[in-house]
Amino acid sequence: MSIKARIEAKLADALAPEQLDVIDESHLHAGHAGHRPGGETHFRVNIVSTTFAGQSRLERHRTVNRILAEELAGGVHALAVHPSAPGEEARPAGRPS
Amino acid sequence: MSAMNEWIDSQVKSNDVVLFMKGTPDFPQCGFSGQVVQILDYLNVPYSGVNVLADPELRDGIKEYSSWPTIPQLYVKGEFIGGCDIIREMFQAGELQGMLAEKGVAAAA
């Protein structure tokens, strides 16, 4: 299973998201620290889940970090996350310059 | 508490605003660290930049200190505020400016 598929599966299981986009942006970071051939190093996650309602920004990110602890400790170099609750403006996570 | 943990704690508590980052404020070595530097510079906030690439023990230690797996990490008045995503979202929503003012961290004249 690819890392992308694993991230999707873990988040889908844990948070029952209404919307989930996991985007492999590794190609944007060719030559940058942490990049390796074959990609799967830099991801962006846009996720909408009722779990996030009533949680602070920090709590939302900690929730995602906990679910993806294994991936973050292993091969994933960078993870941009935009967690929102249903009904909030869905603004995509930004990318590093 | 390990010596590294104590050192981090002293940095966080003795500086109003501390950014643990990859590289230095003048030469960020990661796009995410660079984004936070740009925001702090834009707001003209005085801060102390700590380069975690200088010491592997520090790089691991800071993740343990805050139970936060990634870098950069911003601390204001001893409190962990967040990483790149959170700082950018707060800045865009105007909340970062409010939080800094609330904590009595004034922009440099």
Closest to A35 (Cα-Cα) out of A88, A1, A75: A75
Asked whether residue A96 carries a pLDDT value surpassing 50, the answer given is: no
Residue B109 resides in a domain: no
CATH of the domain at B49: 3.40.30.10
3-state secondary structure of B73: strand
B82 interaction partners in chain A (CB closer than 8 Å): 57-58, 61
Which among B29, B35, B67 has the least Cβ separation from residue A33? B29
How many helices (H) and strands (E) chain B has is answered by: 5, 4
User: Can you give the residue range of the structural domain that contains B11?
Assistant: 3-102
CATH of domain A3-84: 3.30.300.90
Range with the lowest mean pLDDT among A22-26, B14-18, B40-44, B48-52?
A22-26
Give Cα B56 to chain centroid, integer Å: 18
Percent of chain B with pLDDT over 70: 97
Closest to B47 (Cα-Cα) out of B25, B72, B78, B67: B25
Please tell me if residue A65 touches chain B, with a CB cutoff of 8 Å.
Answer: yes
In chain A, the DSSP E strands lie at 19-24, 42-48, 78-84
Work out the minimum CA distance from B105 to partner chain A, whole angstroms: 20
Output the pLDDT for position B108.
66
β-strands B17-21, B48-51 pairing: parallel
CB A61 within 8 A of CB B85: yes
Per-residue b/e over A2-34, b at no fewer than 16 CB within 10 Å? Answer: ebbebbbebbeeebebeebebbbbbeebeebee
Output the known binding site of B for [2Fe-2S] cluster.
Answer: 30
Beta-carbon separation of A97 and B69 below 8 A: no
Q: Residue range B45-62: average pLDDT? A: 96
Q: Among all chains, which residue has been given the structure tokens 């299973």?
A: A1
Residue B108 resides in a domain: no
Residue B94 resides in a domain: yes
Is the ipTM of this structure higher than 0.90?
Answer: no
| Residue-wise pLDDT tens digits, A34-57 | 667 777 888 999 999 999 999 999
Q: Residue range B53-58: average pLDDT? A: 96
Tell me the pLDDT band of B101, cut-offs 50, 70 and 90. Answer: very high
Beta-carbon separation of B32 and A33 below 8 A: no
Domain count, chain B: 1
**Arithmetic mean of pLDDT over chain B:** 94
Beta-carbon separation of B68 and A65 below 8 A: yes
A28 interaction partners in chain B (CB closer than 8 Å): none
Beta-carbon separation of A81 and B31 below 8 A: no
Please tell me if residue A82 touches chain B, with a CB cutoff of 8 Å.
Answer: yes
Q: Rounded to two decimals, what is the model's pTM?
A: 0.88
Residue B107 resides in a domain: no
Work out the minimum CA distance from B62 to partner chain A, whole angstroms: 14
Work out the minimum CA distance from A81 to partner chain B, whole angstroms: 7
Residue B58 resides in a domain: yes
**Residue type present at position B60:** D
Asked whether residue B100 carries a pLDDT value surpassing 60, the answer given is: yes
